Amino acid sequence: MNLGRFPRVRFAHLPTPLEHMPNLSRHLGGPELWIKRDDCTGMSTGGNKTRKLEFLMAEARDQGADIVLTQGATQSNHARQTAAFAARMGIACHILLEDRTGKTDPDYTTNGNVLLDFLHGASVEHRPANPDMNGEMTKVAERMKAEGRKPYAIPGGGSNPTGALGYVNAAIELVTQANDMGLRIDHVVHATGSAGTQAGLVAGLCGINSGVPLLGIGVRAPKDRQEENVYKLAALTAEKCGCPGAVKREDVVANCDYVGKGYGFPGADTIAAIELLARTEAILLDPVYSGKGMAGLIDLCRKGFFKKGQNVVFLHTGGQAGLFGYADDFGYRNSKRLAA
C-alpha cells in the first residue's frame, strides 16, 4: 500500500486526533467509546471530504484544470470543502446544488455550508431533486469545454477510487495510532453516504490485514444498495492500491436502520445524539451524517450489540457547518431554555 506514488496536495491537518470519550462511555455503560477526529482536518471547518480532495485536487492540478465542478445536496459538506480547496489553489469552482430535501427554511437555503460556498468564491447553480446529478454535472462540463475552459469534474461526495485513497490512508493512520497507544480496536463505526469513506477504509483495513471490523451507518440508501455501492468502489480502490481482491463482500457491512424520514431529515434520535455529544464530550456532530451515525452507535450500545470491555472507535466525519443550516430542527427558538 504505497500511497506515496499518488499525486496529492497536502492541506489537511494530519494525523487527526484519536481520543477517548470517557463521559459518553460512562453515560451509556457499554463499551469504551473512542473518536477519530476527522472533523478536525482543518479546511474550512474540516470534515471527511478533505482527505479525498487531497488526491482529487492534485489530479485536477496535474490535468491543468482551470475550474473544478462538483455537485451535492444544498447543505453539502463536500461542495464546501471543494470550494475551499479551489480557493487555496487559485482554481475556479462551480457547484451544482440539488434541492434533495425540498426544505425552504432560509437557514437551510442560505446559511451553513451555503454561506461558506459563497465565502470561498464558488459559483452555484441549482437543480431540482434528480437521481442522476453526476450526469447533470457532465452536461455542464461539456458546456464549459465548448466555451474553451478546462473543467475537472468531481463526482458527488468525491467518491471514486482517487478520492477513496484518502480513506485508505486514514485506515493506515488509525491503525498506526492505535498501535502506538497500545489500543485494541474491536470495531470502527461511521456514517456512510456516497460510499467513498467506507470503501477507502475497508480497502485500507483489509489491505494491511488489520482484522478490524467496520460498520457503516447509512444515511440514505437501503442496506443492500449501500453495501453493493461500497463493495464495488472498495474493490476498485484496492486494485488501484495494488491489493486486488483484498476486500471480500462480507467485509462490507452497513446498517441502514437509522435513515429515518430520508436523506437530510434528522429524526428525534439524531437530534438527541447531537445534544448528548455536545453535553457530555463538547463535540459537535451534524444533522445529516455524523449525528445519524452516532444515533446508530448509541442505539447499538443500548441494545448490547457492542459489549462492555470492547473498544469502539467512532470516525467523526465532520459536518458541523451544517448545524447552522438546520437550526430550526432543534426547537430552541421560543424555547423556555432561553428564559431559564
Ligand X SMILES: *Cc1c(COP(=O)(O)O)cnc(C)c1O
Give residues in contact with ligand X (CB under 6 A). Answer: 47-48, 77-78, 157, 159, 191-198, 286, 289-290, 317-319
Task: For the CB of residue 130, give the shortest distance to ligand X in the complex, in Å.
Answer: 17
Could you tell me the maximum CA-CA distance found in the chain, to the nearest angstrom? 61
Give the three cell numbers for residue 287. 444533522
Rg (CA), the chain: 19
Nearer to ligand X, 8 or 316 (CB): 316
Contact between residue 174 and residue 18 where contact means Cβ atoms under 8 Å apart: yes
Question: Choosing from 76, 159, 210, 290, which is the catalytic residue?
Answer: 76
Distance of CA 30 to CAs 33, 161, 253, 304, 305, Å? 9, 36, 21, 7, 9
Half-sphere exposure of 92 (CA within 13 A, CB side): 9
Nearer to ligand X, 71 or 192 (CB): 192
Nearer to ligand X, 58 or 201 (CB): 201
Q: Is 76 annotated as catalytic?
A: yes
Residue 98 in grid coordinates: 440539488
User: Of the two residues 144 and 191, which places its CB atom closer to ligand X in the complex?
Assistant: 191
CB of 111 to ligand X, least distance (A): 16
As measured in angstroms, the least distance from the Cβ of 156 to ligand X is 8
| Least distance (Å) between residue 163 CB and ligand X | 8
Task: For 177-245, list the strands marked E by DSSP.
Answer: 187-192, 214-218
CA distances from 272 to 284, 286, 320, 322 (A): 12, 12, 15, 16
Question: What residues are labeled active site?
Answer: 76
